[in-house]
Amino acid sequence: MGKFMLSFILGIALGDWLSVFSAAAFNHHRRATTCDFSNTFALSVEEQNLNQQLPNYGLFGPTLIQKAGFVPQVNQISNNFCGADSFDKAKQSVREAGKLLFQFAVGRAQDDNTGGEVNRYDDRPLYWARLTLTKAIKQWKSGFEMSDDARKELVTTFDLASRGLDSVSFPTGNSARRVMVAGFDPFQLNADIRTANPSGAIALQLSGKTFNTSSGPIVVHAVVLPVLYGENGFDDGVVEAAFGPALQDAERRPDGIVTISQGLPEQFDIERWAGGWRGGFPDNNNVKSTGPVPPAAGWPQPNINFIETTLPYQQMQDAATGPFKVRYNTEFCEWPKGSPTTEPCIRHDSGVPASDSIPAEGGGGDYLSNESMYRANRLRVGLELTNLRGGHLHVPVLGFPDGNAPSDQKFEKKRLDIISQALQLVEAELERENVTGKIVLKIAKDERGEFAVSLRNASGFTQYRFHQEQVRVF
Report d(CA 138, CA 154) in Å as an integer: 8
Selection from 23, 151, 140 nearest residue 81 by Cα: 140
* Cβ count within 10 A of residue 112: 5
The whole-angstrom separation of Cα 232 and Cα 212 is 36
User: What angle (nearest 5°) sits at the alpha carbon of residue 314, between those of residues 312 and 318?
Assistant: 120
Cα distance between residue 99 and residue 90, in whole Å = 14
The length of the chain in residues reads: 474
Q: Residue 179 in contact with residue 218, Cβ under 8 Å? A: yes
Which residues of the chain fall below pLDDT 50? 1-10, 12-32, 433-448, 454-474
Q: Exposed e or buried b for every residue in 63-74, given b needs 16+ CB within 10 A?
A: bbbbbbbbbebb
Q: What residues does each domain of the chain span?
A: 2-162, 177-430, 439-470
The span from the CA of 157 to the CA of 241, in Å, is 12
Helices and strands, number each (H, E), in the chain = 13, 19
- Rounded to two decimals, the pTM is 0.87
- Neighbouring C-beta atoms of residue 290, cutoff 10 Å: 11
Would you state the pLDDT for residue 30? 32
The per-residue pLDDT of the chain, averaged, comes to: 86
User: Which residues, including other chains, have CB under 8 Å from residue 18's CB and lie 6 or more apart?
Assistant: 36, 37
- Within 13 Å and on the Cβ side, how many CA atoms surround 96? 13
- The CATH number of 177-430, from 3.40.640.10, 3.40.630.20, 2.60.40.10, 2.30.30.60, is 3.40.630.20
The predicted-structure confidence for 415-424, as pLDDT tens digits, reads as follows 999 999 999 9
Among 127, 153, 126, which residue's Cα sits nearest to residue 138? 153
- Answer for the pair 456, 312: CB distance below 8 angstroms, yes or no: yes
**pLDDT for position 368:** 98
- Of 393, 399, 424, the residue nearest 184 (C-alpha): 393
Residue type present at position 436:
T
Those residues whose C-beta lies under 8 Å from the C-beta of residue 468, and which sit 6 or more positions away, are 445, 449, 450, 451
Strand-pair partners of 222: 181
Contact predicate 110/54, CB 8 Å: no
Q: How far apart are CA 340 and CA 306, in angstroms?
A: 18
pLDDT at residue 292 in the model: 97
Distance CA 163, CA 103 (A): 9
Q: What pLDDT was estimated at residue 178?
A: 95
Model pLDDT for residues 117-154, shown as the tens digit of each residue: 999 999 999 999 999 999 999 999 998 999 999 999 99
In this structure, which long-range contacts are made by residues 413-419, counting pairs with CB atoms below 8 Å and at least 24 apart in sequence? Answer: 415/119, 415/121, 415/122, 415/196, 415/198, 415/201, 416/121, 417/322, 417/323, 417/324, 418/198, 418/201, 418/202, 418/324, 419/121, 419/198, 419/201, 419/202, 419/205
Q: What is the pLDDT, as a whole number, of residue 114?
A: 83
Q: Where are the beta strands (DSSP E) in 172-228?
A: 177-184, 210-213, 216-225
Q: Which residues contact 221 (CB under 8 A, 6 or more apart)?
A: 164, 167, 168, 169, 170, 178, 180, 181, 206, 207, 208, 246, 254
User: H or E segment at 358?
Assistant: strand 358-361
Look at residue 173 in the predicted model and tell me its pLDDT.
Answer: 87
